[in-house]
């Protein structure tokens, strides 16, 4: 059974707290918290105050997904906000080993995100520093995009690389996850399904979380 991480980018932003609590009540395992800078991606979203406020109402761990340039600049504010897992995009950071170590030093799990255009081979020389892996099946920037099928192959490649290097971390998939893709992702070996639109867009949060949990 995979874990379900609810991406609050998919929420009605006037009701984020309420929708997260409904997801939590129905079995969600994590809150996926995108942070966008309008530069690495053209969109903008979510600052540390929202993480602080979500921590007050929910017991779920917060997994912040930095879709921005200069991720090292933003580390301290998300550490202070109580974020549990901090992931940055590998192609947005020239010195990832340094940053992975800094994230851990700040008391968070250190995650790497790989965009759909990039290979998992890029993990080879950094994997032993990584606690958390997000394979993206849409380009960073927006919810509700078309799912890139290449992610299935990448799950297999990531697993093979982890076996080869003897260092295993949970594999999350982010983008276009629903009941159909979710089932195939689990079969391919995904550990965590991150879903935004599927869970939040049709006002069926309870049903949709339960469906993903039961896959």
Which residues contribute to the site for Zn ion (CB under 5 A)?
A: 34, 65, 174
> Least distance (Å) from ligand DX5 to the CB of residue 145?
6
For 22, residues 6+ apart whose C-beta sits below 8 A from its C-beta are: 205, 206
> Least distance (Å) from ligand DX5 to the CB of residue 175?
4
| 29 labelled catalytic | no
Residue 175 interacting partner from Zn ion, ligand DX5, none (CB closer than 5 to 8 Å by kind): ligand DX5
> Least distance (Å) from Zn ion to the CB of residue 143?
9
Q: Which C-beta is closer to ligand DX5: that of 18 or that of 163?
A: 18
Catalytic residue chosen out of the listed positions 29, 37, 131, 174? 174
Q: To which H or E segment does residue 96 belong?
A: helix 96-105
Tokens of 36: 């966008």
Using CB under 6 A as the binding rule, whether residue 61 contacts ligand DX5 is answered as: no
Rounded distance between C-alpha atoms, residue 172 and residue 189, angstroms: 10
Using CB under 6 A as the binding rule, whether residue 195 contacts ligand DX5 is answered as: yes
Q: Which C-beta is closer to ligand DX5: that of 67 or that of 84?
A: 67
Rounded distance between C-alpha atoms, residue 54 and residue 15, angstroms: 12
**Residues 120 and 157: beta-carbon distance below 8 Å:** yes
Helices (H) and strands (E) in the chain, counts: 8, 9
> Which residues in the 23-42 window bind ligand DX5 by CB under 6 A?
32, 34
Looking at 4-12, 46-54, 118-126, 157-165, which segment touches ligand DX5 (CB under 6 A)?
A: 4-12
DSSP string, 141-189: T-SSPPP-THHHHHHHHHHHHHHHHT----EEEESS--HHHHHHHHHHT
Q: Which C-beta is closer to Zn ion: that of 2 or that of 165?
A: 2
Tokens of 67: 């879709």
**Residues 26 and 214: beta-carbon distance below 8 Å:** no
Tokens of 19: 């929708």
Catalytic residue chosen out of the listed positions 29, 34, 84, 131? 34
| 174 labelled catalytic | yes
> Least distance (Å) from ligand DX5 to the CB of residue 147?
8
Tokens of 25: 């009540």
Using CB under 6 A as the binding rule, whether residue 62 contacts ligand DX5 is answered as: no
Alpha-carbon dihedral angle through residues 206, 210, 211, 212, given to the nearest 10 degrees: 110
Residues that bind ligand DX5 (CB under 6 A): 7, 9-10, 32, 34, 65, 67, 138, 140-145, 174-177, 194-198
Catalytic residues: 34, 174
């Amino acid at each position: 059974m995979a874990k379900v991480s609810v991406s609050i980018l998919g929420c009605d932003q006037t009701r984020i707290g309420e929708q997260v609590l409904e997801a939590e009540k129905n079995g969600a395992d994590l809150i996926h918290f995108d942070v966008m800078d309008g530069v690495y991606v053209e969109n903008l979203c979510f600052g540390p105050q929202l993480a602080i406020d979500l921590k007050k109402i929910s017991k779920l761990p917060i997994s912040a997904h930095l879709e921005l340039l200069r991720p090292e600049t933003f580390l301290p504010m998300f550490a202070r906000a109580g974020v549990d897992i901090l992931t940055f995009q590998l192609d947005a950071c020239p010195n990832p080993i340094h940053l992975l170590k800094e994230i851990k030093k700040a008391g968070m799990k250190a995650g790497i995100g790989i965009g759909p255009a990039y290979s998992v081979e890029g993990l080879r020389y950094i994997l032993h520093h990584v606690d958390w892996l997000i394979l993206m099946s849409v380009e960073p920037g927006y919810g509700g995009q078309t799912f890139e099928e290449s992610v299935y192959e990448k799950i297999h490649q990531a697993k093979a690389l982890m076996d080869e290097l003897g260092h295993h971390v949970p594999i999350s998939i982010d983008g276009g996850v629903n009941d159909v893709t979710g089932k195939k992702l689990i079969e391919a070996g995904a550990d965590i399904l991150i879903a935004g639109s599927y869970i939040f867009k049709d006002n069926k949060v309870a049903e949709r979380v339960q469906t993903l949990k039961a896959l």
